[in-house]
Amino acid sequence: MRPDSEKMEELQKFNGGKSMSVDYSFLLSQMTLEEKASMCSGSTFWLTQPVERLGIPCVWVSDGPNGLRKEKRSAGLNLMGTSETSTCFPSSATTANSWDVSLMKEIGHAIAGEAKALSVTTVLGPGVNIKRNPLCGRNFEYFSEDPFLSGRMGAAFINGVQSSSIGTSLKHFCANNEEHLRMSIDSVIDERTLREIYLSAFEYIVKTENPETVMCSYNRVNGEYMSENKRILGDILRDEWGYENIIVSDWGAVNDRVLGIKAGLDLEMPANNGVNDKKIVEAVKNGELSEEDLDKCVLRLLKFAFEAKEHECHNKAINLSVNHAVAKKAAVKSAVLLKNENCNLPVDEKEKITVIGALAKYVRYQGAGSAHINPFRTVSFCQTLDGNNIDYTYADGYKIKGTGVDYTLIDEACKAAQNSSRIIVFIGLTDAYESEGYDRTHMKLPESHIELIKRLVEINDNITVVLSGGSPVELYEFKDKVKSILHMYLGGQAAGEAAYDLIFGKENPCGKLAETYPLKYEDNIVSNYFPMGPRSVEYRESIFVGYRYYDSAKKDVAFPFGHGLSYTQFEYSDIKAAHKKDGSVSVTFKIKNTGSRCGEEIAQLYVKAPASKIFKAEKELKGFTKVKLEPGEEKKCEINLDNRAFSYYNVNISGWHVEGGEYTILIGASSRDIRLKTAVRMKDSNPDAVVPDYSGTAPSYYKIGECDIVPDNEFEALYGKKLIGNEPYKKGELTINNSVEQVAVSGFGKAIYAIMKYGAKLVSVTTENPEMSARSAIDIPLRSFNSFTGGFLSQQTVEGILDLCNGKSGGFMKMIKGFRK
Ligand code: BGC
């Protein structure tokens, strides 16, 4: 229930008329222990807990990173796609390809405007987890395999939203790099890798943009649930990085609420129906939790609630058409021209074209799950052709749903292609492939799409492929046989219009890949360690993620990190590097547009470290710039590098360390297309620091590419602890954190499993992604039964269920008694 405005007014009068001037300490002193505890969890699925007696307001939070998903109801499970309509912007995997911070700010600003119109004061995004493996089901919601790029894009988005007085939630903190068992899996990562790869983007964003909230992830990291991870939430996020705002749990991520408060987790979402609030009260009363720790959380929550209320407004005058134009611009700037043999694209509007592929009609523009937007308008490629009176022939080629090959549709497509001089084929990952809640099982396109393109390349040699999908796919079956490939990724609601403008040359493609496209899935070192379970996932590849691996291992790839073509050409020249007075290094160079069209170029700066005792990646991205150039125009670019650009994380000193020596500065049009090179000498930032040397204990890391299966003892040497392994769970040792699938080791557990599967099947009729419902139903841990059933299954009932799964007597009575409560 929302606090009424009179109480709010009273309180504001009492506080001098301005909520910003609320005396939080005074307010805190007026609160009972129970009221304090109640504020530490939501009141519904989307609302925080108000305290009406004191006029403390509640806050409405909503997903998500590529548009606003405000549910029409604040409570209950949101299985019906009941969100308000809004603008669907391209997903983060797409906008990352723009490498365009001002574009990200513009998107953030536009989403904030829509949030204001719907009285939402905190937008749950962006997600900046690293794409460790191309198969992670949620990669479409993340930016990149590289932390530098992820950090810059995430920061720009937050800047855009928060400068419009709407809050954000930086998520999912941290090491949530797969959906498989995401609610309980332990991500086992050595400290250096954690710092350099998995925390780095979060660190940059926290320090530069101070997000209003940080959302902790579901998983454990090195043994502890993130929702109670004292080391990462407390020591690193709060103490080291100085973060003072709200830490909120991912929905249902809380394990031990009392430990969570101690670690600094302020807010549990969604509502816990009083169960954990009671535990907080008891813990304070019995001395297990100090009231001071609780007060710290409550003070932050008070500030959060009042500041949000202050910014809440009902600006109904939002102009959605303007936002549609922003979505289109973002799709244009984020598309990547992967291949363009003999300037095959653009197409002349007078040319007779044949369009093949149902995705041209039913555009795939977003992923599934909590980031799923209900767009107010969508425009397909075919609709845009019709709108522009373009004469074309069309054939479906495959069915949009399912993966089965329909040979009749392929035959029809081949017939249409036979005498055509120009074919544009739309293929890609369809809805069932990418979603929150489960990972892909392979990196291939749907079989029906592969069969279609294989047949088409046999009969016509002038083929353009337009790809869609939020993560890499294997392209080796047709890549060399088609003339051009334009990747639209998941282009948001205006994707069809953007594709039209790019294909017909009204716009010049300028996006560059924010992730590597390997030739085959198995080429990725992480394929050896993904998925893992049921207990842990070991990040044995260490820092060798994405191009850090492919480039160090000198593996051929389909398209490298940072790759993207244009309809014009760019020449790079005149590189210089110089130390500046403030200690930074300035790198300057020139870029000239030598072609005949205006275009934008994304230049990337990589640093290659000198030889060291500690293994390092071949090179690392440490800067980039995007320049717009008219034909013949030349511009000077400057990128500044601070000490961090030359550092690795030294576990011996628990800090960042620059080794003295000569570093190579590489300027590239991609990670494999290096155009300029220079060197800069750096002083040792800590001459007393001992550089860790694993060449004796973990030699595989020094021969990456040759030795990709890192043995247990070598990974343990790096990790510094024994691995917990992955023994299957047994009856008798099950806990509340085991998933429905994992408790199916006992007869009763099997029954629960069957019920949940059946329930998911019934529900799936009404959901957009049945597989997501099915997977989510069996991956849910028992600890979430209470909150996800809105309290229908009481804590006691859940404990009874657990006892029964473990074969303990008395479980049945406990379960039944719990129902009566
Ligand atoms: C997702 C979050 C999302 C939340 C609320 C969770 O399942 O992991 O990203 O913000 O739900 O929808």
Dump pLDDT digits (tens) for 380-406: 999 999 999 999 999 999 999 887 899
Q: How far is the CA of 541 from the centre of ligand 1 (A)?
A: 28
User: Quick one: average pLDDT of 318-322?
Assistant: 90
Site of tokens 């320049």: 627
Quote the CA–CA distance of 515 and 299 in Å, as a whole number: 41
Confidence of residue 14 (pLDDT cuts 50, 70, 90): very low
pLDDT for residue 62: 95
Checking if the pLDDT of 420 tops 60, the result is yes
> Which has more pLDDT, 3 or 507?
507
DSSP-derived secondary structure letter, 733: S
Q: How far is the CA of 251 from the centre of ligand 1 (A)?
A: 6
User: Quick one: average pLDDT of 765-770?
Assistant: 66
For ligand 1, what atom is nearest to the CA of residue 124? 10
What angle, 0 to 180 degrees and rounded to 10, lies between the N-to-C axes of helices 795-805 and 811-820?
160
Quick: pLDDT tens for 470-495: 999 999 999 999 999 999 999 999 99
202: left (phi over 0), alpha (psi -120 to 50) or beta: alpha
pLDDT for residue 2: 38
For ligand 1, what atom is nearest to the CA of residue 78? 12
For ligand 1, what atom is nearest to the CA of residue 218? 8
For ligand 1, what atom is nearest to the CA of residue 141? 9
Q: Is the peptide bond before 367 cis (omega within 30 degrees of 0)?
A: no
pLDDT for residue 235: 98
Nearest CA to ligand 1 atom 9: 370
Quick: pLDDT tens for 701-740: 999 999 899 999 999 999 999 999 999 999 999 999 999 9
Distances (CA, A) of 560 to 5, 75, 318, 601, 670: 56, 45, 40, 16, 7
| Tokens of residue 89, six digits | 């912007």
The torsion angles phi and psi of 776, rounded to 5 degrees, stand at: -60, -40
User: Quick one: average pLDDT of 412-422?
Assistant: 94
Quote the CA–CA distance of 322 and 121 in Å, as a whole number: 21
Q: How far is the CA of 171 from the centre of ligand 1 (A)?
A: 9
User: Quick one: average pLDDT of 75-103?
Assistant: 85
For ligand 1, what atom is nearest to the CA of residue 169? 10
Confidence of residue 257 (pLDDT cuts 50, 70, 90): very high
Q: How far is the CA of 215 from the centre of ligand 1 (A)?
A: 9
Which of 74, 171, 370, 372 most suits a substitution to test ligand 1, by most atoms within 8 Å of the C-beta?
370
Site of tokens 């300035």: 586
Coil/strand/helix, residue 491:
coil
Q: How much of the chain exceeds pLDDT 70, in percent?
A: 95
CB atoms within 10 A of CB 14: 13
Confidence of residue 443 (pLDDT cuts 50, 70, 90): very high
Q: How far is the CA of 189 from the centre of ligand 1 (A)?
A: 24
Question: For 805-812, which contacts have Cβ atoms below 8 Å and span 24 or more sequence positions?
Answer: 805/731, 805/734, 805/738, 805/743, 805/745, 805/746, 805/748, 805/749, 805/752, 806/731, 806/732, 806/733, 806/734, 806/746, 807/731, 807/732, 807/746, 807/748, 811/748
For ligand 1, what atom is nearest to the CA of residue 172? 9
Which of 251, 773, 780 most suits a substitution to test ligand 1, by most atoms within 8 Å of the C-beta?
251
Catalytic residue list contains 250: yes
Nearest CA to ligand 1 atom 3: 370
Nearest CA to ligand 1 atom 12: 370
Q: How far is the CA of 579 from the centre of ligand 1 (A)?
A: 45
Q: How far is the CA of 547 from the centre of ligand 1 (A)?
A: 29
pLDDT for residue 17: 41
For ligand 1, what atom is nearest to the CA of residue 127? 9
Q: How far is the CA of 44 from the centre of ligand 1 (A)?
A: 14
User: Quick one: average pLDDT of 641-668?
Assistant: 98
Q: How far is the CA of 779 from the centre of ligand 1 (A)?
A: 15
* Single-letter code of the amino acid located at 291: E
pLDDT for residue 16: 42
User: Quick one: average pLDDT of 104-124?
Assistant: 96
Which of 92, 176, 436, 769 most suits a substitution to test ligand 1, by most atoms within 8 Å of the C-beta?
436
Nearest CA to ligand 1 atom 6: 251
pLDDT for residue 64: 83
Ligand 1 pocket, CB under 6 A: 63-64, 124, 171, 250-251, 370
For ligand 1, what atom is nearest to the CA of residue 125? 10
Contact by Cβ (8 Å): 516, 559: yes
For ligand 1, what atom is nearest to the CA of residue 64? 10
User: Quick one: average pLDDT of 413-428?
Assistant: 95
| Tokens of residue 268, six digits | 């549990």
Q: How far is the CA of 407 from the centre of ligand 1 (A)?
A: 40
**Residue 550: CA count within 13 A, CB half-sphere:** 26
Out of 17-26, 294-303, 633-642, 719-728, pick the least confident. Answer: 17-26
Checking if the pLDDT of 78 tops 70, the result is no
Confidence of residue 315 (pLDDT cuts 50, 70, 90): low
Q: How far is the CA of 157 from the centre of ligand 1 (A)?
A: 18
Which of 142, 213, 217, 250 most suits a substitution to test ligand 1, by most atoms within 8 Å of the C-beta?
250
Nearest CA to ligand 1 atom 8: 250
Q: How much of the chain exceeds pLDDT 90, in percent?
A: 85
Q: What is the mean pLDDT of the chain?
A: 93
pLDDT for residue 73: 76
Answering whether pTM is above 0.85, one says yes
Contact by Cβ (8 Å): 641, 608: no
Please report which residue ranges of 5-84 form alpha helices under DSSP H: 5-14, 24-29, 33-39
pLDDT for residue 12: 53
What angle, 0 to 180 degrees and rounded to 10, lies between the N-to-C axes of helices 795-805 and 747-764?
130
Q: How far is the CA of 777 from the centre of ligand 1 (A)?
A: 15
Q: How far is the CA of 211 from the centre of ligand 1 (A)?
A: 17
Candidates 250, 266, 396, 708; catalytic one: 250
pLDDT for residue 9: 59
For ligand 1, what atom is nearest to the CA of residue 63? 10
Confidence of residue 3 (pLDDT cuts 50, 70, 90): very low
Contact by Cβ (8 Å): 284, 38: no
Checking if the pLDDT of 515 tops 50, the result is yes
Burial tier of 419 (Cβ tally within 10 Å: 0-12, 13-18, 19+): exposed
Quick: pLDDT tens for 171-218: 999 999 999 999 999 999 999 999 999 999 999 999 999 999 999 999
Nearest CA to ligand 1 atom 4: 251
Quick: pLDDT tens for 328-371: 999 999 999 999 999 999 999 999 999 999 999 999 999 988 88
